[in-house]
């Protein structure tokens, strides 16, 4: 038991330090001794990074839907779904004086269903979408699906799921897709990229599914089974996804394309703009929440999978084989270098050298790691969450940084973002040229 606790501590400490996803940190800590995936109620828990692509990859593997040369992996499905996007919004809410930073890193990130819809359509899969308005009907539909042995991709609110241990003021802030794959003893087994069994009380899951109006009780079922996606269909799907990445990132929107990063870079240091950070955070209230939100959104160690540039690079390597275009592997290296730039930005936003901020990172990684460890780690993540939200409340009115340090952080972030814009702009142009060949 002591050895197991020490191992968990090492994995979580690495997550806090590097921003890595649990599965990556675990593999680095264990090296070649890492064991295979856990099978729970006939479902294989494979982990993952991107909620959308990982959920679909798990369902397709379970239903034995493959490509001509093997499984349709999370990185390749990320590419097929449109790959990457960009997004920056700073929300200000008068009712509670909150300032919330929203970052988007995937194609069509502002739509809950767009990427998965594009993915299954491009692959030609037989699927069924449902949106049941009534809670009773929605609960019955999910129960019937699970009773038939079929997994379902659903969109629950994170607060009501319970296992993220979020505070009440985040009730109704939404969530990402997870897979419900079994039910027993009044609890639904869910795959949220966890490596061990994770369950939610049926009533809590029903409430979580009904909480957010824009995707209330949404459910996606894959009906295809024992299917090999034809080679020509897969090639067209991959090429279509790559073109979508080029079009999305290369667009002109200042909220949903690369200009969003350029706008953010300027607003970080502009004292005259109404949405400039020196203006919005002049009283320093909410600044720690904003900076923590930046770190959580960028790093894979957060709830939502992070910047996804590394996963996309892995997808480009697979796309190179599918399309027989080795040049895509060279582009993969370019996106891995960009992933490193995003990590550096996250490090600047939430500097681990400041004790209180370092502790925030440690506790955040502990919660994410404990979610990956499933029900067995419920007590640990609850304790970590209590400390985390108490610490964040303690520094809500002013971050654990001096005014000079804040100015230095924002100036450094601005410069790093400007460099990211230049790097991603060049990478998009190069990718577009390769795809057009």
pLDDT tens readout for residues 400-426: 899 999 999 999 999 999 999 999 999
pLDDT in tens, 254-270: 989 999 999 999 999 99
Q: State the Cα–Cα distance between residues 74 and 315, nearest whole angstrom.
A: 8
Is residue 21 pLDDT above 60, yes or no?
yes
Once rounded to an integer, what is the mean pLDDT over residues 368-374? 95
H helix intervals, 301-377: 309-323, 327-349, 355-372
* pLDDT band, very low/low/confident/very high, at 93 (cuts 50, 70, 90): confident
Q: What is the pLDDT of residue 138?
A: 93
* pLDDT band, very low/low/confident/very high, at 398 (cuts 50, 70, 90): confident
* pLDDT band, very low/low/confident/very high, at 281 (cuts 50, 70, 90): very high
Q: How far is CA 318 from CA 76, 83, 315, in A?
A: 6, 13, 5
Domain positions in the chain are 1-36
Contact 136, 158 (CB under 8 A): no
Q: Which residues, 6+ apart, have CB-to-CB distance to 402 below 8 Å?
A: none
Once rounded to an integer, what is the mean pLDDT over residues 83-94? 92
Q: State the Cα–Cα distance between residues 289 and 173, nearest whole angstrom.
A: 15
Structure tokens at 223: 């009906």
Contact 218, 131 (CB under 8 A): yes
Helices and strands, number each (H, E), in the chain: 17, 13
C-alpha gyration radius of the chain: 21
Q: Strand pairing of 199-201 and 187-191? A: antiparallel
Q: State the Cα–Cα distance between residues 218 and 212, nearest whole angstrom.
A: 10
Exposure letters 380-396 (e unless 16+ CB within 10 A, then b): bbeebbeebbebbeebe
Q: Which of 177, 86, 188, 89 is nearest to 145 (CA)?
A: 188
Contact 44, 58 (CB under 8 A): yes
Strands (E), 41-138: 43-45, 65-67, 70-71, 84-93, 98-106, 127-131
Q: How far is CA 379 from CA 70, 163, 185, 319, 362, in A?
A: 39, 10, 20, 42, 16
Q: How far is CA 172 from CA 293, 323, 374, in A?
A: 17, 42, 23
Structure tokens at 207: 């409430």
| 304 membership: H or E segment, kind and range | none
Q: Is 135 exposed, middle or buried (0-12, 13-18, 19+ CB in 10 A)?
A: middle
Say how many Å lie between the first and final Cα of the chain, rounded. 56
Q: State the Cα–Cα distance between residues 180 and 34, nearest whole angstrom.
A: 26
pLDDT in tens, 324-343: 999 999 999 999 999 999 99
Q: Which residues, 6+ apart, have CB-to-CB distance to 201 below 8 Å?
A: 162, 186, 187, 188
Once rounded to an integer, what is the mean pLDDT over residues 356-369? 94
Q: Which of 37, 77, 84 is nearest to 57 (CA)?
A: 77
Is residue 97 pLDDT above 80, yes or no?
no
Q: State the Cα–Cα distance between residues 368 and 365, nearest whole angstrom.
A: 5
Q: Which of 29, 27, 33, 32 is nearest to 46 (CA)?
A: 27
Q: State the Cα–Cα distance between residues 174 and 394, nearest whole angstrom.
A: 25
* pLDDT band, very low/low/confident/very high, at 397 (cuts 50, 70, 90): confident
pLDDT in tens, 181-205: 999 999 999 999 999 999 999 999 9
């Amino acid at each position: 038991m002591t050895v197991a606790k020490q191992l968990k501590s090492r994995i979580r400490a690495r997550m806090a330090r590097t921003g890595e996803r649990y599965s990556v940190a675990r593999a680095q800590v264990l090296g070649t001794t890492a064991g295979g995936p856990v099978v729970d109620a006939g479902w294989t828990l494979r982990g993952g990074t991107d909620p959308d692509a990982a959920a679909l990859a798990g369902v397709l593997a379970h239903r034995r839907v493959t490509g001509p040369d093997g499984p349709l992996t999370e990185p390749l499905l990320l590419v097929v779904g449109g790959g990457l996007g960009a997004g920056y919004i700073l929300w200000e809410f008068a009712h509670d004086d909150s300032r919330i930073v929203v970052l988007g890193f995937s194609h069509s990130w502002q739509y809950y269903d767009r990427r998965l819809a594009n993915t299954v359509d491009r692959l030609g899969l037989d699927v069924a979408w449902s949106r049941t308005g009534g809670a009773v009907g929605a609960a019955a539909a999910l129960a019937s699906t699970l009773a038939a042995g079929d997994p379902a991709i659903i969109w629950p609110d994170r607060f009501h799921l319970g296992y993220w241990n979020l505070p009440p003021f985040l009730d109704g802030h939404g969530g990402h897709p997870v897979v419900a794959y079994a039910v027993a003893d009044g609890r639904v087994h869910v795959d949220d990229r966890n490596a061990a069994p994770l369950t939610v009380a049926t009533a809590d899951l029903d409430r979580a599914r009904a909480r957010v109006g824009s995707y209330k009780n949404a459910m996606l079922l894959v009906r295809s089974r024992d299917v090999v996606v034809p080679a020509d269909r897969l090639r067209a799907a991959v090429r279509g996804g790559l073109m979508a990445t080029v079009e999305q990132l290369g667009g002109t929107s200042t909220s949903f394309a690369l200009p969003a990063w350029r706008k953010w870079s300027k607003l970080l240091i502009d004292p005259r703009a109404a949405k400039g950070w020196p203006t919005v955070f002049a009283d320093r209230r909410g600044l720690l929440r904003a900076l923590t939100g930046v770190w959580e959104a960028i790093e894979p160690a957060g709830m939502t999978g992070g910047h996804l540039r590394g996963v996309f690079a892995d997808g480009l390597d697979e796309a190179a084989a599918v399309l027989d275009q080795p040049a895509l592997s060279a582009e993969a290296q370019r996106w891995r270098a960009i992933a490193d730039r995003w990590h550096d930005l996250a490090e600047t936003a939430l500097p681990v050298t400041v004790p209180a901020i370092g502790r925030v990172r440690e506790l955040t990684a502990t919660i994410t790691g404990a979610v990956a460890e499933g029900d067995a780690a419920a007590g640990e993540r609850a304790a970590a969450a209590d400390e985390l939200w108490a610490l964040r409340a303690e520094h809500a009115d002013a971050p654990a940084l001096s005014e000079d340090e804040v100015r230095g952080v924002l100036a450094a972030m601005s410069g790093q973002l400007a460099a990211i814009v230049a790097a991603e702009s060049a990478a998009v142009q190069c990718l577009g040229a390769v795809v057009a060949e």
